[in-house]
């Protein structure tokens, strides 16, 4: 009579949740960063609910253009951070820009996660030649910096889709480019976790009871390999947002009609030399603030979930 194996997967998941709360209380810096991220998320998603999109509706007046921030000589309290070349209130413009940046960032990370995760699961679970092939491809891809790959994929997609592109298509191209450029890390992490887990007793037990491979992977193995992957995803979110900002800054990312922070910086750069620094500096600072917070939080999570340190805490 085969002994019933107590699936540790569910038990492990529960204890991880409690650990998370305790860990956050112990670390003031990363918790502060989490708050900053939360505040910026609210800014990016709530402000647009209360104001018209300055990039779609022309409620602005060109007379309002190039107004400096409120504390400067020609500033006005109506426009606390100043206006851009089209007279848009920078606070509103940045909120919309930030929203686009965050959405694109999350989508890219999701694509990378799904793509890398699937390939990693397959490679780890199936092993053999399939595994070798996937890892070989990963190695060749790693020779190239992700930014470059994103650019190349972006360029190739543009060539294929031609000059007439909607904003939706442009966003899709950017998201796919970044996702494909970054799948490798997810794949590797999941693969090694899967290779450890597939030899565990509970997997053998599940096999004996007749479960299909797919359900074993999804129900049993997946929950146990998610933690390190989520940590990577958090760190990668910052990188994804910066990559998108760079692509947009170079003019091959999100178009001006529905800009991200990168596009705003690109636009503002034109006026840097003539002294209207605020148009590009505010988006710069917001971008940096968000990404730095994400990085610090991600670093902290990585330390907390480091399997080597797990035993000690």
Partner 1 sequence: MLNYAASRIVQTLIVLLVISFIAFLLVANIGDPLAALLSADATVNERLELIAKLGLDQPLWTRFLHFIGNMLQGDFGFSYRTQDPVANLIAERLPATVELAFVSLLITIAVGVPAGIYCGVHPNSLFGRFIMLISTAGITLPNFVVGILLIAVFSVQLGLLPSFGRGTVVDLGFWKTGLLSVSGWRAILLPAATLSTFQVAFIIRMLRTQLMEVGQSEHIRFARARGLSEARIWYVYAIKNTLLPVITMLGLQLGNIIAFSVVTENVFAWPGLGSLFLQSIQGADIPVIAIYLIFVGLVFMVINLVVELLYPLIDARVLRRQS
User: Bridge-partner residues for 79, per DSSP?
Assistant: 76
Spatial contact of 138 and 187, defined as CB atoms under 8 Å apart: yes
For the chain, give the number of residues. 313
Coil vs helix vs strand at 262:
helix
Write out the H or E segment, with its range, that includes residue 140.
helix 128-142
Cα angle value 217/122/119 (rounded, 5°): 120
With CB under 8 A, what is the number of residues at the site for partner 1? Answer: 37
Instruction: Tell me whether residue 213 or residue 270 sits nearer to partner 1 (CB atom).
Output: 270
Alpha carbons 301 and 30: distance in angstroms, whole number: 9
Note whether 206 binds partner 1 by CB under 8 A.
no
306 binds partner 1 (CB under 8 A): no
27 scored as a contact of partner 1 (CB under 8 A):
no
Of the pair 21, 140, the CB lying nearest partner 1 is at: 140
Q: Is 105 in the site for partner 1 (CB under 8 A)?
A: no
* 253-292 residues near partner 1, rule: CB under 8 A: 265, 269, 272-273, 275, 277, 280-281, 284, 287-288, 291-292
Collapsed DSSP state (helix, strand, coil) of residue 83: strand
Closer by beta carbon to partner 1, 147 or else 172: 147
CB of 284 to partner 1, least distance (A): 5
CB of 175 to partner 1, least distance (A): 17
Q: Are 266 and 13 in contact (CB under 8 A)?
A: no
CB of 183 within 8 A of CB of 114?
no
Binding mask 138-157 for partner 1 (x = CB under 8 A): --x--xxxxxx--xx-xxx-
Place of tokens 């647009």: 48
- Which residues lie near partner 1 (CB under 8 A)? 140, 143-148, 151-152, 154-156, 158-160, 238, 242, 245-246, 249-252, 265, 269, 272-273, 275, 277, 280-281, 284, 287-288, 291-292, 295
């Amino acid at each position: 009579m085969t002994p019933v194996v107590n699936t540790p997967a569910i038990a492990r998941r529960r204890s991880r949740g409690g650990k998370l709360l305790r860990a956050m209380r112990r670390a003031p810096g990363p918790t502060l960063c989490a708050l900053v991220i939360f505040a910026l998320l609210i800014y990016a998603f709530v402000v647009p609910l209360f104001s018209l999109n300055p990039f779609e509706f022309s409620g602005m007046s060109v007379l309002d253009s190039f107004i400096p921030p409120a504390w400067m000589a020609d500033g006005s309290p109506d426009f606390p951070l100043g206006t851009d070349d089209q007279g848009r209130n920078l606070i509103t413009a940045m909120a919309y820009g930030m929203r686009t940046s965050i959405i694109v960032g999350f989508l890219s990370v999701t694509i990378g996660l799904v793509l890398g995760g699937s390939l990693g699961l397959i490679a780890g679970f199936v092993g053999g030649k399939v595994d070798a092939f996937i890892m070989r491809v990963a190695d060749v891809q790693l020779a190239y910096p992700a930014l470059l790959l994103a650019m190349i994929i972006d360029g190739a997609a543009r060539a294929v889709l031609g000059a007439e592109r909607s904003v939706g298509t442009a966003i899709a191209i950017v998201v796919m480019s970044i996702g494909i450029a970054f799948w490798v890390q997810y794949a590797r992490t999941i693969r090694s976790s899967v290779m450890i887990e597939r030899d565990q007793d509970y997997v053998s037990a599940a096999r004996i009871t007749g479960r299909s491979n797919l359900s074993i992977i999804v129900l049993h193995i997946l929950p146990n390999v998610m933690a390190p992957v989520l940590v990577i995803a958090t760190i990668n979110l910052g990188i994804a947002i910066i990559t998108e900002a760079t692509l947009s800054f170079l003019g091959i990312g999100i178009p001006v009609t529905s800009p991200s922070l990168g596009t705003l910086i690109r636009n503002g750069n034109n006026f840097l030399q003539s002294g209207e620094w605020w148009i590009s500096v505010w988006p710069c600072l917001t971008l940096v603030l968000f990404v730095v917070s994400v990085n610090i939080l991600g670093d902290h999570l990585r330390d907390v979930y480091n399997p080597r340190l797990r035993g000690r805490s």
